[in-house]
Amino acid sequence: MDGLQNAEHLAAWLRDMRPRLAVPLTDADLREVNDSDLRVARELRDAVRTLTVATVDGRDPDPAAVATLNRRARQAPRWRELRTAPEPHMTVRTTGRPVAAAVAALAEEAVALFAGPLRHDLRACPGPGCVLYFVRDTPRREWCSAGCGNRARAARHYAKARQEAQG
């Protein structure tokens, strides 16, 4: 969610995130993403980043960021319903716009993260030029993604090779 330049970027990000979202979004929902949705998503992104930095640095959370996160978490009520055909399964329903409900669900997940035990496993990615954070889910995990790990290893290799060539 870091590169949200316009509503189309938000729609593309939500499209990529669909499998991980609590609220299902259709292509029609994504075509309706607008500048208001972008403003809300950016506000949530900024609050989550502020809270993440404070958590990683061991500081108290910013009250304004907490207020923003809570305000966004309560925006769109949603519930689960049981469907029985063709087989029993769950579907998520909302009273609001699905995009607003999806952003509210993201805010709820952030609330669970910052209020739960996983907050102690938040880390800043040490990858070269990376600005992302991640939950360290295994003791060996050092980077936000395999790509950052590869870039870090490559940078170390090239620095060592340059040093050996000069030395």
Residue 95 shares a structural domain with residue 155 = no
Contacts of 99 (CB under 8 A, 6+ apart): 14, 25, 29, 30, 32, 33, 37
Residue 9 shares a structural domain with residue 91 = yes
Characterize the bridge pairing of strands 122-124 and 133-135: antiparallel
Residue 33 shares a structural domain with residue 58 = yes
Single residue among 115, 138, 159 that ends a domain in this structure: 115
pLDDT value at 1 more than 70: no
The confidence score (pLDDT) of residue 109 equals: 93
Residue 85 shares a structural domain with residue 4 = yes
| CA gap 100, 40 in Å, rounded | 9
pTM of the model: 0.81
| CA gap 145, 30 in Å, rounded | 26
Residue 49 shares a structural domain with residue 95 = yes
Question: Peptide bond before 24: cis, by omega within 30 degrees of 0?
Answer: no
Structural domains in the chain (count): 2
Residue 129 shares a structural domain with residue 102 = no
Contacts of 44 (CB under 8 A, 6+ apart): 1, 68, 69, 72, 103, 106, 107, 110
Radius of gyration of the chain (CA): 19
Angle between helices 98-115 and 63-73 (to 10 degrees): 130
Domain span holding position 164:
117-167
pLDDT tens digits for 43-96? Answer: 999 999 999 999 999 999 999 999 999 999 988 788 888 988 899 998 888 888
Residue 111 shares a structural domain with residue 127 = no
Residue 98 shares a structural domain with residue 122 = no
Chain mean position to CA 67: 18
Residue 80 shares a structural domain with residue 17 = yes
